[in-house]
Amino acid sequence: MEKKTRRDFMKTLGVSIGATGVLTSSLLSSCNRVEAVSGDKIKVLTAGGQLVEVDISQLKPAEFPSLSENQERGRKGIPGKSWVMVIDLSKCRNARECMKACQDHHQLRPEQHHINVLQMQDAEHTAPYYMPKPCQHCDDPPCTKVCPVNATFKRDDGIVLIDNERCIGCRFCIAACPYSARVFNWFEPRDAEKYEGVTYNIEANVPQKKGTISKCLFSADLLREDKLPSCVSACPNGVYWFGDRNEDAVTNGTTKETVRFSELIKDNAAYTLMEELGTKPRVFYLPPKDRAFPFEGDAPDHHDA
């Protein structure tokens, strides 16, 4: 194959592969960029930012979705779904694996967070605890109302997303969000060269772009593949439950146990953050009772002076 012809072929090459080695068709079905390397192999960049090398003989041609097709699908959401998250504060021990997985999945620099784990204390003499805080994916989100270019929006399945192809970086949404859940890309994104030429995926907000906003997405691209969000899967302590409110079912990312969403929040006195604002968050918290781990942070000293 001539060099030019090979390059043209690679531009329109999709991937599907049998269950050989550690690579699976589910991994490669989400690939949105390929590039030629020496010999009879190519490098494949998955939508999750994972670079893998595959033999050409295992590939077959397919057309990639265009940018407009990605944007249109991303705005509609997944039909019939109503996504919710439950965070059990009694299980969190500040492992921060959720933060790392999120950063890896969404091309975030070390100082950027879609989800952050905070040390909390409700009153002077109460015990501190850890609280993961992602975007709350409000049903009445103030952030979407102030965007002048419709770059941030709420989908029918409940997820609030950003289209950085429309975002002008005005940061009105950052000012409007009462949960401080958005970040601004002040610098070139992490591993920018690796994502060069990759078609923008609105459901992963990748590639990231300097001068635009980024936020928690509930890993909408993974949900379309029937997978749990990256933060939920990465937690080693069973902190996160995630699922579909329409089905009244949520699954724990660690134990893989599935329970009724309505019973979980009712039996454990779940609450949402800043309920008085009327934003109607889709992230629910279970109080830090009967803790699975002792607090390991810097607890305040309550001894009298």
Residue position matching structure tokens 């970086």 = 169
Task: Provide the pLDDT for residue 116.
Answer: 95
> Tokens 């010999």 label which residue?
39
DSSP state of 299: P
Q: Residue 12: which pLDDT band, with cuts at 50, 70 and 90?
A: very low
Rounded Cα–Cα distance for residues 37 and 31 (Å): 17
Do 204 and 95 fall into the same domain?
yes
Overall domain count for the chain: 2
Do 19 and 137 belong together in one domain? no
Task: Note whether 277 and 79 are within 8 A (CB).
Answer: no
Q: E strands of 113-194, at which residues?
A: 116-120, 129-133, 152-154, 160-162, 182-184
Does some domain include residue 257? yes
Kindly state whether residues 130 and 147 are assigned to the same domain. yes
User: Of 73-77, 143-147, 265-269, where does mean pLDDT reach its minimum?
Assistant: 73-77
Mean pLDDT across 70-83: 92
- 172/146 same-domain check: yes
Considering the domain architecture, whether residues 184 and 246 belong to the same structural domain is answered as yes
Q: Are residues 145 and 113 in the same domain?
A: yes
Average pLDDT over residues 201-219: 96
Residue 9 has pLDDT above 90, yes or no: no
Query: Which position has the higher pLDDT, 196 or 88?
Result: 88
Nearest to 220 by CA among 233, 203, 206: 203
Amino acid letter for position 117: V
Share of the chain above pLDDT 90, in %: 66
pLDDT over 90 at 227, yes or no? yes
Q: Which of 20, 40, 61 is the last residue of a domain?
A: 61
1: confidence class by pLDDT, cuts 50, 70, 90 = very low
Mean pLDDT of the chain: 85
Q: Are residues 231 and 198 in the same domain?
A: yes
CA 36 to CA 85: how far, in whole Å? 40
Report in angstroms the alpha-carbon separations of 133 from 4, 14, 96, 273: 49, 37, 12, 10
In a domain, 242, yes or no: yes
Q: Are residues 11 and 147 in the same domain?
A: no
Q: How many Å apart are CA 134 and CA 185, to the nearest integer?
A: 17
Distance of CA 43 to the CA centre of its chain: 24
More confident residue, 28 or 191: 191
Q: What is the mean pLDDT of residues 53-65?
A: 66
132 has which bridge partners?
117
- CA–CA dist 249, 264 (Å, integer): 9
Q: Which pLDDT does position 39 carry in this prediction?
A: 59
User: In percent, how much of the chain has pLDDT > 70?
Assistant: 77
Cβ neighbours of 9 (radius 10 Å): 15
The pLDDT score that the predictor gives to residue 65 is 67
SS3 content of the chain, % helix, strand, coil (to 5): 20, 20, 55
Q: Please, where are the H alpha helices in the chain?
A: 3-11, 25-28, 67-76, 97-105, 142-146, 172-176, 220-223, 230-234, 261-267
Report which of residues 258 and 37 the model is more confident about. 258
State the pLDDT at residue 125.
Answer: 87
CB-based contact 134:85 (threshold 8 Å)? yes
Residue ending a domain, among 61, 89, 104, is: 61
Query: Which whole number is the average pLDDT over 30-56?
Result: 62
Q: Same structural domain for residues 19 and 158?
A: no
Instruction: Kindly state whether residue 293 falls inside one of the protein's structural domains.
Output: no
Residue 213 lies in a domain: yes
Residue with tokens 């699954």: 251
* Higher pLDDT pick, 41 / 300: 41
Looking at the fold, whether 138 and 238 belong to one and the same domain comes out as yes
The CATH number covering residue 190 comes to 3.30.70.20
Domain that holds residue 51: 3-61
Beta bridge partner(s), residue 182: 215
Among 13, 30, 61, where does a domain finish? 61
Asked if pLDDT for residue 33 goes beyond 90, the answer is no
The answer to whether position 95 is within a domain reads: yes
Work out the average pLDDT over 245-274.
98
196: left (phi over 0), alpha (psi -120 to 50) or beta: beta
Same domain for 45 and 150, yes or no, is no
pTM of the model: 0.76
pLDDT, position 234: 98
- Region of poorest pLDDT, from 10-24, 90-104, 209-223: 10-24
- Burial group, residue 146, by CB count within 10 angstroms (0-12, 13-18, 19+): middle
Per-residue pLDDT reduced to its tens digit, 122-178: 888 888 999 999 999 999 999 999 999 999 999 999 999 999 999 999 999 999 999
Does the residue 300 lie in any domain?
no
Question: What is the C-alpha to C-alpha distance for residues 166 and 30, in angstroms, rounded to an integer?
Answer: 23
Same domain, yes or no: 81 and 54 = no
Residue 33 maps to a domain: yes
Q: Kindly indicate the confidence band of residue 53, based on its pLDDT and cuts at 50, 70 and 90.
A: confident
For residue 80, the model assigns a pLDDT of 97
18 assigned to some structural domain = yes
- Asked if pLDDT for residue 28 goes beyond 60, the answer is no
